[in-house]
Chain A
Amino acid sequence: MTGDGSPVSPTVADALTTVFREEWGRVVATLIGWAGDWDLAEECTQEAFTRALRSWPRDGVPDRPGAWLLTAARRHAIDRLRRATLGEAKLRQLAVTGQLPDADPDDSGIGDERLRLIFTCCHPALAFEARVSLALRTLTGLSTAEIARAFSVPEATMAKRLVRAKQKIRDAGIPYRVPPAHLLPERTRSVLAVIYLVFNEGYVATSGADLHRPDLAHEAIRLAALVVELMPDDPEARGLHALTLLQHARAATRMSPDGVLVPLEEQDRTRWDRTLVAAGLTELRRAARREHVGPYQLQAMIAACHVTAPTAADTDWARITMLYDALLAQVPSPTVALNRAVAVAMSAGPDAGLTLLDDLTRHGECDHLVHAARADLLRRAGRVGSAADAYRTALAQTSNEAERAYLRRRLGELTCPGPRRP
């Protein structure tokens, strides 16, 4: 991997991986703040990491790797500007106006740089998918190819999307800043929505063989933690962080080794990640100290009900129904209505849930999740024929392989005699 062909020791390689994860966004954000040029910032950060890969194995990992990288990136940026035709003028201007913050990674001023970056990436004047892509590229350092793979689009498409987003920021004058107080609530919502989408995409991939894309889930958790670190008084940021931790705690059990989705009630609870659960519950408690209980907190509270129930039968479905009622009042979306119907079915019986699902279908909501939920409830109600029909309809409408495998399994259990799982 190194430029001069010498092997990188495992310690240095580990250090580089950790530093890359921790420092990429910080260095990019600081350079954009300094030079105002997104491409230059990314390229010079990349160059700084390449230099680290060359010199750290030889000279050892520096005491303050973040500061080392920032200095290297800035030097490279200055070199590049000197070589460029218009660079000298830009450099003179930077010498007058561009203050590069002290290259100390512990300096809270640099934390603000990342906050400026995240708010700019998530500016509502950018298309939603552009916000998501740009946040992943600039804040987490995922490559264009990795982001393209994660969202199942060709790399060229993703590259074009990133270029256009950066062009719009520059040409349309989207300010590189944390928005003023009166815009902050709305803009923070956009930031959280981007992170939520990244997490969901990691949690249930919309297509392909894997149910789960742990890399994206990890990145979303990191971004959520970052927003909490930067905006500790925002209860919904904490709510979102709690939600991602509590959901991710179940990640290892959501799919069987042969790639079949495992429903919540059948998951091996002994394998849920207790560290993540504890961290999620702590974060949820911190969020709840604030007054407003928003949608992310409510969803985190629902996730908490699930991960704290010792067995599936112990699940407090009455409380979950109540939380979904509150969530539906704030977010009247078909998905929330669907989940609420399932919760009602679990506490008041399948027929009550089926009635709610019928209402949803009448309102035009009939994607594969509605059919799959209906099938599950019909199965619980013992209506085998209708359940099988509903599983078939759901199967015809989803392309996620793990979900398909689960639906096929259920269908097989209903239509073929033999040992049945619960």
Chain B
Amino acid sequence: MRYLLMISADETEVEEVVSEEGMKAFAVWMDDLVERGVIRAHEGLRPSRTATTVRVRDDEVLLTDGPYIEAKEQIGGFALIEVDNLDEAIEIAAGHPACAVGQVEIRPVLER
């Protein structure tokens, strides 16, 4: 099964530039997933203040500066993994360094 891991944290608490130590922990996590052949995509995102939200109402394109939900906790990255079951996805999510300061939401991908 494929799962999307949405990695989020309190942006006011998290450093915008990840420390060297943090990068190392992340590399360990990533190397393991690459070796196991379960990672399909992974990206980190710029902070939510760079976000633009788009809506179309009455044929008019409406733009908002910022994320669609104003909240302290914002998505800072995502990973798409392909594993056998939720237990494996949980173990992978729990191993992400950001999980120690923020959280990871695991969403199963709607398979056709």
Contact = CB atoms under 8 A, between A and B. Distances in A.
Contacts, number: 23
Interface residues of A, number: 9
B70 interface: no
Most chain A C-beta atoms within 10 Å of own C-beta, residue among B3, B84, B87: B87
A175 B91 CA distance: 13
B85 interface: yes
B108 interface: yes
Contacts of B3: 173
Contact of B108 (A123, A172, A183): A172
A183 B84 CA distance: 16
A125 interface: yes
Nearest to A180: B87
A174 interface: yes
B90 interface: yes
Interface string A160-190: 0000000000011111000100010000000
A175 B84 contact: yes
B85 A125 contact: no
Most chain B C-beta atoms within 10 Å of own C-beta, residue among A125, A173, A179: A173
A174 B89 CA distance: 10
B85 A175 contact: yes
Contacts of A183: 87
Most chain B C-beta atoms within 10 Å of own C-beta, residue among A123, A172, A175, A183: A172
A175 B108 contact: no
A400 to B, nearest CB: 37
Interface in B1-42: 1, 3
Contacts of A171: 108
B99 interface: no
A171 B106 CA distance: 12
A173 B90 contact: no
Chain B interface size, as a band, is 10 to 19
B83 to A, nearest CB: 8
B71 to A, nearest CB: 22
A125 B84 contact: no
A179 B84 CA distance: 13
B51 interface: no
Interface in B41-86: 84-86
Interface string A309-342: 0000000000000000000000000000000000
Contacts of B1: 173
A26 to B, nearest CB: 24
Contacts of B90: 125
Contacts of A179: 87
Contacts of B108: 171-173
A119 to B, nearest CB: 11
Nearest to B83: A173
A115 B21 CA distance: 42
Interface in A332-379: none
Nearest to A123: B86
Contacts of A123: 86
Contacts of B85: 173-175
Contacts of B106: 172
Q: What 10 A-B pairs have minimum CB-CB distances, sorted nearest first?
A: A175-B85, A173-B1, A173-B85, A173-B86, A174-B86, A172-B108, A172-B86, A175-B87, A171-B108, A125-B86
Interface of B: 1, 3, 84-87, 89-90, 106, 108
12 contacts: A125-B90, A172-B86, A172-B108, A173-B1, A173-B84, A173-B86, A173-B89, A173-B108, A175-B84, A175-B85, A175-B86, A183-B87
Interface of A: 123, 125, 171-175, 179, 183
Given A173-B1, A173-B108, 20 more contacts: A123-B86, A125-B86, A125-B90, A171-B108, A172-B86, A172-B106, A172-B108, A173-B3, A173-B84, A173-B85, A173-B86, A173-B89, A174-B85, A174-B86, A174-B87, A175-B84, A175-B85, A175-B86, A175-B87, A179-B87
